[in-house]
Structure 1
Amino acid sequence: MPAGGGLCLGRVRATWAPKGSTRAHWAAVRPLELKYDAVVVGGGHNGLVAAAYLQKSGVNTVVLERRHVIGGAAVTEEIVPGFKFSRASYLLSLLRPQIYKDLELKKHGLKIYFRDPYSFTPMLGEGIGGTLPRSLLMGGGMAETQRQIAQFSQRDAKVYPDYEKFMNCLVSAIDPLLDTSPVDIGAMKRGSLIQRLRSIRTLQPLLQAGLKLGTQLPQYYEILTAPVSKILDHWFESEPLKSTLATDALIGAMLSPHTPGSGYVLLHHVMGELEGKKGAWGYVEGGMSGVSHAIARAAASHGAEIFTEKPVTRVLVDNNRKVQGVLLQDGTEVKSKLVLSNASPHTTFMKLTPEDQLPEDFIKRISQFNIKSPVTKINVAVDRLPNFLAIPNTTDNKPLPHHQCSCHLNCENMQLLHKAFEDANEGRPSDRPMIELCIPSSLDPTLAPPGCHVLSIFVQYTPYILVNDRKWDEQEKNNYADTVFDWIEKYAPGFKASVIGRDILTPPDLERIFGLPEGNIFHGSMSLDQLYFARPVPGYSNYRSPVNGLYLCGSGAHPGGGVMGASGRNAALVALEDLKYL
């Protein structure tokens, strides 16, 4: 081990094949039956939430997952022996409080390690003459956050509490919309009298949000429609603060900070809450499978059955455009009155549903649903903590407060973020990528051997197809990962020497493994033209589809992506209401 290293016991070589999971106590103990009241396609967290609510209401429900593990993108896998990675999603905050309560997730084993402080942005190119580079460490209370901001701007430090108050007011108004079905414009036009009356009720949350915002509605409208750069320029002058806040608007989105509408994505990421703590983000013990398994246990406790390695290849539809069940890859037909798809809109309607059962205009709109993704996820096993120049490690190599944060690298100013976007927009991986680095093992000791750590590195921007139609092969992937590691090395010398193994997931990998279209973590862009009334398409924003009994319950439906569970819960409630009339 290099001098100054940690005390990682049992250093191991990298391996690239994830291990299979042992049989969990949520798994079905009986063989798959051939008839259920409801089939949920896909065992991602939204599908599991939907199954839990359906089964809790007495609807006999089965979940069919194509992979060997449940959880979709909220999954833990052992890529390097002895190291457990949240392989795709890696933080928890957006999970809806009602779901947490209704499904008793704490009772079913969900344990969270809260982060405070939560954000660390070190400066590069400072520290000349023996002084340490500056860094922006946010959290630890408002007074401490203001002290950190004051390093860069006294004015910004003073105004920051007003900014927080302004954003929280908007969040409190919009938050109830996440737990309700969007206004059903389609049902108002084409439904029966009963359906039209029911759809009018969906106007109430929208009207209440408008009333709550009151006279400040024009200012809040700007938040929803403007570029995040314009919003932050209005409030602040210091680039490190603005660019750090802007990362929440850009994460997972093929957007520049100067793109109109990027302000909403910022809002989407400040809506979080954990165990009653507003704005809190945390690591799940054992990795993100801890969330999925807790939801699965809740569903199973009510009688839902959950199967892995059961890929669905077709939704069965009769000539009256009514769902009949699903067809599995092995030829098994599973009949049901309801089918809820946790797959993306593209997969659900362009691969699984018979094309002749869908209106031509609907298919066209789904094909135009924007799924561009900028994300590469790199999971890394290391034998010691990164040693940042801005805040050096102690001699005992114990985690310091900044190690529990989201570490924002190459985020010193807005221009860096915009340039990284421009690179990918031209078909090239960013030369100086935006990097969010998290070290969940700094709080959760179950993830790595003693002295070792796991790193989740979320990198932007990465095009799905490279310039000149080049594909992502192993050389391209490793070249890009090397670029990312070179930049981390600049901030934390010695990082590259600490690496034991790595797992590189470019957009095509995220699509292949997790079913994320073009690697999009939200199943589709969270742009204004693809939200609320129009998610996934106008006229079908209420989880229903042109096929009677087929519902969309994943992130491609309202309110969108993140480990939130709202799409699954809302879709289940809509399906339960419809079941009365089927």
Structure 2
Amino acid sequence: MNTLGKACRTVLKERLQSAFKRSASQTPIEKTEWDAIIVGGGHNGLVAASYLAKKRAKVLVLERRKVLGGAAVTEELIAGFHFSRASYVQSLLRPEIVKELKLAKHGYSVIARNPSSFTPLSDGKSYLFLSPDVEFCKEQIAKFSNEDATKYPQYLQWLSKLCRLVEPFFDEAPYDALYDDISRLTLAEKWSSYRAGFHLLRESVSSRREMTEFFELLFSNSSKTLKSWFHSEPLLSTLATDSIIGTMAGPDTPGTGYVLLHHVLGGDWSYVRGGMGSLSQSLASVAVEAGAVIQTDTVVKSILVDEIQGKVKGVETMDGRSIFSRCVLSNADPKRTFLTLCPKGSLPEEFLSKIRNLDFRSPVFKINVALNKLPHFRCFPKRQTFEGEPTTLAAGPEHKGTIHLGSDNLNMIEKAYKDCSAHHRPSAVPIVEMTIPSAVDPTLAPRGQAVAGLFVQYVPYDAPWEDNNFKKAFVDRVFSLVEDYAPGFIESVIGYDALSPKDLERVFGLTEGNIFHGALSLDQLYSLRPVAGYSRYRTPIPGLYICGSGAHPGGGVSGAPGRNCSKVVLRDLKRNAEGLSLQRAFSLWKR
């Protein structure tokens, strides 16, 4: 057992428990004058809370579950086994957040994965590894095509250039031509909106070819893009998985080119030491140290709006408490925020119509599995056992990264998508991304055993998931697929936690089970996210903001929506400081 990792997790947990106890001993939250209430303790809500509290705003975070983090959580679902129950790898977290909030001092640590991906083929003999080591990748790809091996470094450089084009847009509120209060934007806000555009204009002048290729990728399908570079499988299919993860689309669907780019913006994917919940705990630690109050197991029933002024005035909890605040930030997705939490009549019908029509289709089914041993893949000879134990396989390179199953080639992925979309049923041969984080972080499972996550596509939201027999039959189908690549997997299963799209909605509050708070389609990006005119984190209700993944720049554990939203909120708090006591107003203006 990695005692250092376990000790760090224990210290962080004790620190948070102590902070929560101090919060609980203060004045009851309903009797405090709050600057900001944040609905939902997901990672974006915690990021926003940290930035606001560091600027001396009085911040309250209300989380409906007993565990913080939203979809970025670590849960001990089976005794001794700690799972990243929903999100499971990290790459997109903005480096500015790590640096500005000093997350490393609060326990945040990542484990690099090398190799980063492993694609075994169904013939039981062939496989492809990819790694941060480009020379190693070339050797692997050369098994299938020398030409593709030569092109691979050029492809990485090309993607890197395109990432540099789009990345500045991630860290600012979008330019929104339909924003109805643009005259009130400060000079700083106007500059922040135009800065990314100036960057793109400058790049378009200096590199017209790259700009053309950027727009071609943006509007293209990933299959077309990848085939313009490579012709060999399984390289094509392995790279294509980044373009369809969490998306009800196949490699041939227009727009998946952007999804591919979105998932490579952060660089190499890694595991968070202690599971994804460790990131959320680190963010919570920053927030409470700065003075924020976090209360779990508190369900927000509705957002309170002043009927006369039409402004937000706080929230009402499910137990009947009214908690008042100068503003409210919703970390819930747009449909849950505007169609469920906001009172009827408080929003324009035209706006609500756009929200209702947002694409929230989800193809995702997640299975968390406790194993009594690591799986052995057919394409590898058995290696030595773990420290001489006769029944336990030692962790090898095939266990350390993302394992792609059911995706030997692009056609298999496209067929799985069409099987679900055309026939409105779970794919007969699903696509599986398997991760075994305990192979590199032994604090997650008992000695010699393992935790595995199976991220599965494609399934429809409205299948009869309430029928336990139907749900179990699909789990069995997924396990049988894994068994085809790794014989003995099924008999190694100790227990599992299966999450259909409806379970993801019920447990994590993700409408229709959509992990991105709305599809990353071109009509739901940048100044169109969540809808045109309201992409700058403000909403039709003054004082109500949206800070979750349903806002720009979208899904993934990036923290960017929370950080960007906090900037907007701080400007508004300063602007609207009149009417407060001199001491409170001066505190806000000093920020």
Q: How does 1:329-340 map to 2 (within 5 A)?
A: 329-340=318-329
Specify the code of the residue in structure 2 equivalent to 1:43: G
**52 and 28 in structure 1: CA distance in 2 versus 1, 3 angstrom threshold:** farther
Deviation string for 1:226-258 (max 9, x for gaps)? 010000111100121111000000000001110
TM-superposed deviation, 1:355 = 2.7
Specify the code of the residue in structure 2 equivalent to 1:114: A
CA distance in 2, matches of 1:361, 1:229: 37
Match of 1:275 in 2: none
**148 and 96 in structure 1: CA distance in 2 versus 1, 3 angstrom threshold:** same
Q: How does 1:184-263 map to 2 (within 5 A)?
A: 184-187=176-179, 189-194=180-185, 198-199=189-190, 201-213=192-204, 214-216=207-209, 217-263=211-257
Tell me the TM-score normalized by structure 2.
0.90
Specify the code of the residue in structure 2 equivalent to 1:161: P
Specify the code of the residue in structure 1 equivalent to 2:568: V
Q: How does 1:9-28 map to 2 (within 5 A)?
A: 24-28=17-21
CA distance in 1, matches of 2:161, 2:536: 26
Secondary structure (helix, strand or coil) at the match of 1:310 reads coil
**28 and 54 in structure 1: CA distance in 2 versus 1, 3 angstrom threshold:** farther
Match of 2:48 in 1: 50
**69 and 358 in structure 1: CA distance in 2 versus 1, 3 angstrom threshold:** same
Match of 2:452 in 1: 455
CA distance in 1, matches of 2:251, 2:163: 21
Deviation string for 1:512-542 (max 9, x for gaps)? 0000111100010000000001000011111
Check whether the contact 2:218–2:255 (CA below 8 A) recurs between aligned residues: yes
Check whether the contact 2:36–2:325 (CA below 8 A) recurs between aligned residues: yes
Secondary structure (helix, strand or coil) at the match of 2:129 reads strand
From 524, 527, 533, give the equivalent of 1:533. 527
Q: How does 1:404-553 map to 2 (within 5 A)?
A: 404-425=400-421, 426-466=423-463, 470-553=464-547
Secondary structure (helix, strand or coil) at the match of 1:186 reads coil
From 63, 71, 75, give the equivalent of 1:77. 75
**193 and 53 in structure 1: CA distance in 2 versus 1, 3 angstrom threshold:** closer
CA distance in 2, matches of 1:171, 1:572: 24
Match of 1:3 in 2: none
Deviation string for 1:200-233 (max 9, x for gaps)? 6402212202422531211110111101000011
Q: How does 1:101-250 map to 2 (within 5 A)?
A: 101-126=99-124, 133-139=125-131, 141-187=133-179, 189-194=180-185, 198-199=189-190, 201-213=192-204, 214-216=207-209, 217-250=211-244
From 562, 574, 583, give the equivalent of 1:580. 574
Secondary structure (helix, strand or coil) at the match of 2:104 reads coil
Tell me the TM-score normalized by structure 1.
0.92
CA distance in 2, matches of 1:82, 1:471: 28
The number of residues matched between the two structures is 547
CA RMSD, 1 decimal: 1.6
**141 and 433 in structure 1: CA distance in 2 versus 1, 3 angstrom threshold:** same
CA distance in 2, matches of 1:311, 1:124: 47
TM-superposed deviation, 1:141 = 1.1
**139 and 197 in structure 1: CA distance in 2 versus 1, 3 angstrom threshold:** closer
Deviation string for 1:429-477 (max 9, x for gaps)? 11111100000000001100000000011000011012xxx44421111
Secondary structure (helix, strand or coil) at the match of 2:279 reads helix
Check whether the contact 2:302–2:341 (CA below 8 A) recurs between aligned residues: yes
CA distance in 2, matches of 1:114, 1:82: 24
CA distance in 1, matches of 2:225, 2:300: 44
Deviation string for 1:513-572 (max 9, x for gaps)? 000111100010000000001000011111100011100000000011111100000001
Check whether the contact 2:132–2:268 (CA below 8 A) recurs between aligned residues: no
CA distance in 2, matches of 1:475, 1:501: 17
TM-superposed deviation, 1:199 = 3.5
Match of 1:36 in 2: 34
CA distance in 1, matches of 2:479, 2:201: 46
**Higher helix fraction: Structure 1 or Structure 2?**
2
CA distance in 2, matches of 1:455, 1:519: 21
Match of 1:385 in 2: 374
Secondary structure (helix, strand or coil) at the match of 2:119 reads strand
Match of 2:389 in 1: none
Specify the code of the residue in structure 1 equivalent to 2:98: Y
Gaps of 5+ in 1: 1-6, 8-20, 127-132, 273-278
TM-superposed deviation, 1:286 = 1.5
CA distance in 2, matches of 1:473, 1:55: 45
CA distance in 1, matches of 2:533, 2:232: 43
From 298, 302, 308, give the equivalent of 2:286. 298
Match of 2:584 in 1: none
CA distance in 2, matches of 1:511, 1:170: 34
Check whether the contact 1:183–1:200 (CA below 8 A) recurs between aligned residues: no
- Alignment pair present for 1:369 and 2:369: no
